[in-house]
Amino acid sequence: MTRIPKTGATVGILAVLSLGGGLLLAQPQNGGSRAHDPGVRAGAVNAGQSLSTLSAEQIQFFQDGQIRFMEVDSVSGTIPGEPGKGLGPGFNSNSCSSCHAQPFAGGSSPSANAYPYIGPNPQIRVASDASALNTIPSFITADGPVRETRFPFVVSPGGRLTQIPDGGVHDIFTITGRTDAPGCTLAQPDYELMQQLNNVIFRIPTPVFGAGLMENIADSTILANMNANALLKRRLGISGHPNTSGNDGTITRFGWKAQNKSLEVFTGEAYNVEMGVTNELFPNERGNAPSACLFNSTPEDFTHFDQSGTELLSDAAGFSTFMRFLAPPAPSTQGIPGNPTAQSIQNGGNLFVQVHCDLCHTPVLKTAGSSLTSGLSNQNAALFSDLLVHHMGDGLSDRVSQGAAGPDEFRTAPLWGVGQRIFFLHDGRATPANGGLLRAIQAHAGQGSEANGVIAFFNTLSEQQKQDLLNFLRSL
Ligand code: HEC
Ligand code: HEC
């Protein structure tokens, strides 16, 4: 019997833990209670504010960008409450902040369990919004994470799995049936077939708090950090390398595989991929939808040369500014369920270093000088990532390659803000119901994982020490 914290609530429930793959090791009891993830830190939301150093004018652009980030898009912009324009023909959701929501606009996947006012998984709602006729696939559930899907390999028109790599994002929903898309008929992907063929993988949203700091870390800083502690890393089997842009050769750093260069590029791509809104960065409609499903001229989002000030900007420019100026999440020892002592959290921070989590999750990287604001300039960004990709073994492999990141390689996930997150790992497999952070840590171990040595160290900790480490993570 293990105590499973119910996210956001102070009362836990007793239940038997049964985990696929037997990844959660049954440890000998130490002091009675077994270590558990205390759950989403309650109390004040410590993320979503702007950097404190912005000028009055920059604050104006930040706020404008935030409003755009939270705006709901429809096909034509004519549905009440959905003023944005350009949704579809394929899409995964209808607003940036529907997916980037927890614990505030810019964050990661929301859940019905954690904050009831956010409501259930927004993908349930958008499936039938404006009378759309989508089927909700089995992997989208009310209390599960927001997901996007990729297909590792191409499936032939006859439904046969080939060995030709696909790897791209396939939109879950279409605008078929929506009142603002008359005459459009476009089928969703055949997820039943894809699941039968074991040819669908998932990605959950990565939070964008502190994204401007991440963007402004010099390549030389990332490489110097990569080369530090070389002997210890080699002994533990940790290597890691940057993912790089095929265009200018610099280090890419956004996304689960560090596949994307900048906030602006990610934004343009996300607007077209997640919401189907063509824009000046990605001006063409995706897929080969019939013309009856294409309702707008392209790009659907553009610079308004007939306007001035914030009105002049495209949404894409507004989103980027908003994200670039978002402050990093502030750590806190307040509001952690179970009230761990400050001492426990401090012990946990020390143990994080002692078992060498920090060899990948680098606590601090310094940013370069910034021409935008002092808050981005020569700052110690406490992101807990080396921004490199590492082999994480067969258990985490998603069989998708992106740039220099191979099938089982992922960016060391930045840990700032995990204290207020619900779902963990690239596909959201670690949930409040199956162990949360503890499950996420155990899943690092697997055949071919660079983290095996460190996880073996972690497994030698006493239950109290593991608890301290989990309490520390929930303070971030
Ligand atoms: C359907 C849900 C969904 C919507 C809507 C969405 N995103 Fe995302 N976002 C994701 C997922 C999933 C990822 C991780 C993708 C990956 O790495 O494969 C992500 C990652 C990102 C990242 C990378 C951050 C990092 O450090 O890795 C940025 C930036 C981003 N999104 C911006 C946006 C913007 C701007 C919008 C609105 C135009 C948006 N997203 C809309 C799901 C969504
Ligand atoms: C070899 C490098 C490496 C080591 C060592 C390592 N991690 Fe990670 N960590 C990663 C990578 C890469 C991911 C993302 C994996 C994925 O999503 O598939 C990750 C993900 C996580 C996550 C989930 C974060 C999220 O955004 O979902 C947590 C929590 C975490 N690590 C904690 C730890 C702790 C605690 C330790 C030490 C016991 C540790 N890690 C050791 C590389 C490492």
Q: Separation of 270 CA from ligand 1 center, angstroms? A: 6
The residue-averaged pLDDT of 71-96 equals 96
Nearest CA-CA partner of 388 in 230, 223, 216, 187? 223
The predicted-structure confidence for 38-68, as pLDDT tens digits, reads as follows: 999 988 899 999 999 999 999 999 999 999 9
pLDDT band for position 337 (cuts 50, 70, 90): confident
User: Is residue 28 pLDDT above 90, yes or no?
Assistant: no
Q: Tell me how crowded residue 467 is: count the other CB atoms within 10 A of its CB.
A: 25
Question: 401-453 pLDDT, tens per residue?
Answer: 999 999 999 999 999 999 999 999 999 999 999 999 999 999 999 999 999 99
Specify the residue with its C-alpha closest to ligand 2, atom 34.
Answer: 357
Q: Which residues, including other chains, have CB under 8 Å from residue 21's CB and lie 6 or more apart?
A: 395
The tens digit of pLDDT for each residue in 355-377 reads 999 999 999 999 999 999 999 99
- Closest alpha carbon to 75 in 188, 149, 184, 190: 184
- Ligand 2 atom index nearest CA of 424: 27
9 Cβ partners below 8 Å, 6+ apart?
Answer: 39, 337
pLDDT digits (tens, 9 = 90+) for 310-328: 999 999 999 999 999 999 9
Cα(203) to centroid(ligand 1), Å = 10
Contacts of 8 (CB under 8 A, 6+ apart): 39, 40, 42, 113, 114, 115
Choose among 451, 453, 423, 452: nearest CA to 439. 423
What burial letters (b/e) apply to 322-361, b meaning 16+ CB within 10 Å?
bbbbbbbbbbbbebbbbebeeebbebbbebbeebbbbbbb
Evaluate: CB of 209 within 6 angstroms of ligand 1.
no
Return the higher-pLDDT residue of 338 and 259: 259
> Ligand 2, residues 208, 361, 385, 410: which to mutate, most atoms within 8 A of Cβ?
361
Spatial neighbors of 420 by CB under 8 A, at least 6 apart, are 40, 41, 45, 46, 47, 102, 103, 107, 329
Confidence of residue 31 (pLDDT cuts 50, 70, 90): very low
Pocket probe for ligand 2: among 23, 360, 400, 437, the residue whose CB has the most ligand atoms within 8 Å is: 360
Residue whose tokens read 């608890």:
467
Q: Ligand 1 pocket: which of 206, 300, 386, 388 to mutate (most atoms <8 Å of CB)?
A: 206
Distance separating alpha carbons of residues 40 and 422, to the nearest angstrom: 6
**Cβ of 270 less than 6 Å from ligand 1:** yes
Q: What is the pLDDT of residue 327?
A: 98
pLDDT in tens, 192-222: 999 999 999 999 999 999 999 999 999 999 9
145 vs 8: which has the higher pLDDT = 145
- Give pLDDT, residue 119: 64
Give the separation between CA 221 and CA 456, rounded to whole angstroms. Answer: 29
CA of 421 to the centre of ligand 1 (A): 15
Q: Is the CB of 145 under 6 A from ligand 1?
A: no
Mean pLDDT across 63-90: 96
User: Which residues are near ligand 2 (CB < 6 Å)?
Assistant: 238, 256, 355, 357, 359-361, 390, 392, 396, 410, 412-413, 415, 418, 424-426, 437, 440-441, 444, 450-451, 454, 458, 473
Q: Which residue has its alpha carbon closest to ligand 2 atom 29?
A: 437
* pLDDT computed for residue 22 by the predictor: 31
pLDDT surpasses 90 at 285: yes
| Least distant ligand from the CA of 267 | 1
Name the average pLDDT for the chain. Answer: 92
Give the number of the atom of ligand 2 that is nearest the alpha carbon of residue 458. 38
Dist. CA 268–CA 215, nearest whole Å: 16
Rg over CA atoms, the chain: 22
Residue 15: pLDDT over 80: no
Distance from the alpha carbon of residue 444 to the mean position of ligand 1, in angstroms:
23
**Residues contacting 307, CB < 8 A, separation 6+:** none
- The protein residue with its alpha carbon nearest to ligand 1, atom 39, reads 96
CA of 263 to the centre of ligand 1 (A): 10
Residue 205 Cα to ligand 1 middle (Å): 5
91 vs 87: CA distance, rounded Å: 7
Distances (CA, A) of 189 to 149, 151, 159, 318, 443: 10, 10, 12, 32, 29
Which protein residue has the closest C-alpha to ligand 2 atom 32? 441
Ligand 1 atom, smallest distance to 323 CA: 29
Atom of ligand 2 lying closest to residue 423 CA: 27
Is 256 touching ligand 1 by the criterion CB < 6 Å? yes
- Measured in Å, residue 39 CA sits from the centre of ligand 2 at 17
Which is more confident, 43 or 269? 269
* Centre of ligand 1 from the C-alpha of residue 87, in Å: 16
